[in-house]
Amino acid sequence: MPETQSLSLRNVRAGYGSTVVLEDLSFDLPLGEKLSVIGRNGVGKTTLLATIMGLTKLHGGHIGLGGTDIAALRPNRRAHAGLGFVPQQREIFPSLTVEENLLVGLRPGAWTLERVYDLFPRLQQRRSNMGNQLSGGEQQMLAFGRALLTNPRVLLLDEPFEGLAPVIVEQLFHALLRLRDEDQLSIIMVEQHAKLALAFAPRTMVMSRGRIAFDGDSRTLIENPDRLDALCGIGATQH
């Protein structure tokens, strides 16, 4: 795999136990590229991120990160290799304070505690609160910050706006756009809100039944709502 590819999947088959969810999936994510992944419920979007992170059973294929095959590595080694993960349920550590949640996975790099507090000033105000004392939006900011402080090369975001009030979604999306424009981080964002997903990344992948149904320029889908509806279901353009 060329060094310019930060992440590369080749013929990946994966799932849970003997159940295969992802079928023969292949794609490359070049260094610094941002990719949105959309699709109907249950098509394997979350499984894709979990598989990259090593949290599912890999039945076949290769996963490369920066030229190294990471398919056989445990999740903690993948994190050290450069993967950062923001899971769908946020999974904040409740018995750690906000600041401890941020520092527990800290690795040296461009992202520092000060930089995360600059991106999410609310976290600095809540630094001494316990992880389980936060609102949904604050928890999502904390999950972002925790992943950023591992100083990853590739950030995996699983439905970061799920269950949040519109005003919070707007704040978080603004922070994500700042991250997109100011940082060389590669990002894969799985998202149900098609509008947000298409607005976030110049490249979008649509998944269907564990396979890639579309992988290309986001503008193609923005300019062709009928195709987006056909790929993601009627009403996708309304989200």
Partner 1 sequence: MLTAALTIIFHGLAFAMVLYIVSVGLGITMGLMNFANLAHGAFAAAGGYVVVVATKALGWPFWAALPAAFVVVALTGAVIERLVVRTLYGADELRQVLFSIALLFMAIAGFTLAFGPLQQQPEIPAALSGQIGAGGLEFPAYRSFVIVAGVLILGALWLLIGRTRMGMRIRAAVDNRNMAEAIGVDTKLLFTMTFALGTGIAGLGGGIGADVLSITPTYGQEYLVLFLIVVAVGGLGSIFGPFVAALCIGIVDVAGKYLIPEFGAFFIYGVVIAILLAKPAGLFGVRS
Residues engaged in binding partner 1 (CB under 8 A):
53, 55, 74-76, 79-80, 85, 87, 91, 93-96, 100-101, 103-105, 107, 146-147, 150
DSSP helix/strand/coil, 89: coil
| Rounded distance between C-alpha atoms, residue 229 and residue 63, angstroms | 31
Contact 205/36 with Cβ under 8 angstroms? yes
User: Based on CB atoms, which residue is closest to partner 1, 98 or 236?
Assistant: 98
Smallest gap from residue 85 Cβ to partner 1 (A) = 5
Smallest gap from residue 137 Cβ to partner 1 (A) = 19
| CA dist list (Å): 238 to 44, 122, 171, 189, 196 | 22, 30, 20, 19, 11
Smallest gap from residue 95 Cβ to partner 1 (A) = 5
| Rounded distance between C-alpha atoms, residue 170 and residue 161, angstroms | 9
User: Based on CB atoms, which residue is closest to partner 1, 133 or 237?
Assistant: 133
| Rounded distance between C-alpha atoms, residue 105 and residue 151, angstroms | 9
User: Based on CB atoms, which residue is closest to partner 1, 130 or 168?
Assistant: 130
Smallest gap from residue 53 Cβ to partner 1 (A) = 6
Contacts of 176 (CB under 8 A, 6+ apart): 157, 160, 189, 200
User: Based on CB atoms, which residue is closest to partner 1, 134 or 228?
Assistant: 134
Token pair of 207 as six digits: 């998944």
Beginning with the edge strand found earlier in the chain, give each strand of the sheet holding 211-217 in spatial order.
83-86, 154-158, 186-190, 34-39, 203-208, 211-217
User: Based on CB atoms, which residue is closest to partner 1, 42 or 94?
Assistant: 94
Smallest gap from residue 43 Cβ to partner 1 (A) = 22
Smallest gap from residue 57 Cβ to partner 1 (A) = 14
User: Based on CB atoms, which residue is closest to partner 1, 2 or 94?
Assistant: 94
Distance of CA 185 to the CA centre of its chain: 12
